[in-house]
Structure 1
Amino acid sequence: MNANLSSFLISIVVFGSLLGVCHGAELRKHFYKDSCPLAEDIVKEIIWKRVASNSTLPAKFLRMHFHDCFVRGCDASILLDSTANNQAEKAAIPNLSLGGFDVIDEVKTELEKTCPGVVSCADIIALAARDSVSYQFQRPIWEVLTGRRDGSISHKSDSEVRANNIPSPLFDFSSLKQSFANKGLTVHDLVVLSGGHTIGVGHCNFFSNRLYNFTGKNDADPSLNSTYAAFLKTQCKNLSNKITIVPMDPGSPLSFDNNYFKNLKLNQGLFQSDAALLTNNEATNTVDELLDSQDFFTEFGQSMKRMGAIHVLTGSSGEIRKKCNVVNS
């Protein structure tokens, strides 16, 4: 979800000004060049190895990064385990279906062997999101600025779905716009980042109301493509199904591409929040622009930079966790 930045040189200038909004001015390219020169190579090697044998990981890491940044900023608070005295973000309903934590731990363990106490878990998440998606292309498809530090606070209540934190798949456009604006992100960012739904799956209970009870009168959402709705009903047979999952992009669910936007134009967005993008002229115009795959890849990278800078901890703020799931003692 990002501003319309057309060339790399221009984007550097514009991005520098935007980082101030997101508190990420101290993030920079190759932050670990001197302190841990192999850091990014180590992350990529492990992530690519794991994605090669588990094609669901890119969607998981994208979602992990998103859920981390939208709660307390990109500080790896999503990785902290609950304790006897505190239920952490992991315990919140939107995060119960997150995955890939074991791979993050594997990366952290290797980095601690190579450069103890240097690379933050927050940076690992940001790099894992980029590298996992990039495996398909065998090259990095966006630049990740690094220098984040880790937070020490993680509360379940902070991750409940509401307009000032994680947006709901049931949100209408105004709620989505406000949710992103609260993080310093634009309508353009909202639409671009929604393109992440081109990979991954959705649980029936987050969209089945569109099939069976859209307005509380046992009706279907009239904006949903009828053929697509009929297919979804074969997968989600009732409103109470909380187990079944379906691809968010039925045509190419494991391929990172711009098919999400092509599906949207066919009224085949899975969630109400997807369909909502066509209820606003600015958002719809952006959807149309992103029907060009190269525009989508370029804009997605820029929006991911902006999202990855939300309320980051840098300098002497926060800490570098020794283990990603617990704060340092």
Structure 2
Amino acid sequence: MECPGELPLERPRPDFGDLSTRVAFLLAKEVGRPPQAIAQELAAALKDHPEFSQVQAVGGFLNLRFTPATLHQVLRGVLEQGEVYGRGDLGRGRSLQVEFVSSNPTGPLTVGHGRQAALGDVLANLFQELGWRVTREYYLNDEGRQIDLLAQSLWARYRQALGEEAPSPEGGYQGDYLVPIGEELAEEWGDRYQDWDEEAQEAFRREAVGRMLRLIREDLEAFGVSFDVWTREVDLHRRGLVRETLEELKRRGATYEKDGAVWLKSTEYGLSRDPVLVRSDGTPTYLMVDIAYHVDKFRRGFDRVVDVQGADHA
């Protein structure tokens, strides 16, 4: 038997072993035998292997536990090779994109974003050491309702700095980080923007996003994390990629309309519910834009794409 493709390895619960593989499920499709029978055969073949102290077939999975001697040998290699340990050419000639942090430009970074920054940067470094051409990318959600609320919240702080009574909009951003920005704009612009007209909306959107992005960049720089590419949501719309992706999904029969909205047929692919792609007012959802963004990623020719997501996306 020969494994079709790459050997899938996972870290199981500690009481199951050091490594686990579902290779038996992949082989079952090739040889027409039950996964459990294949896993048992593999376990018997590996039972006396000197690197394993325990090999178990459980429900089609193969769980492996290394001997202490094997682990000691690895540790000796780490100590002897130092900084060059683990380097290789597994990814030579192949490209990989790691997208991480990608915080909305509506406020400063949080501890959670710091976790994502650490994970993403470490992953990128590891892949680079294995010979991959790595692109570190930050996706900037600088379009939509949340940016409108940010701009209007900053306008309220600007007017307050001018001595006016100006409550923040319903659902707006209340953070004190907007106060000094509003004061700076009041000093720079005076009372130029008394009305929330089209000119004011454009000016405060531009300033709000630009200044939040500056804060984000400064925090990332202090953390020692840099990016090769910054992709803006507004550019995806300007290029027509969101509209184009939606039309392609419709052409493939992957959508349907209900209650004036456009829905994705996710349940046909094993998911629990169908999400909305375009709201009844015609505006695309986060998911719709994210699909278009990932289409853009693969069009750029990456061999692999890695998304480091926050806890709220798990």
TM-score bracket, normalised by the shorter chain, equals under 0.3
- Select the structure of larger CA radius of gyration: 2
TM-score, normalization: structure 2?
Answer: 0.24
Say which structure is richer in strand. Answer: 2
The structure with higher relative contact order (CA 8 Å, sep 6+) is: 1
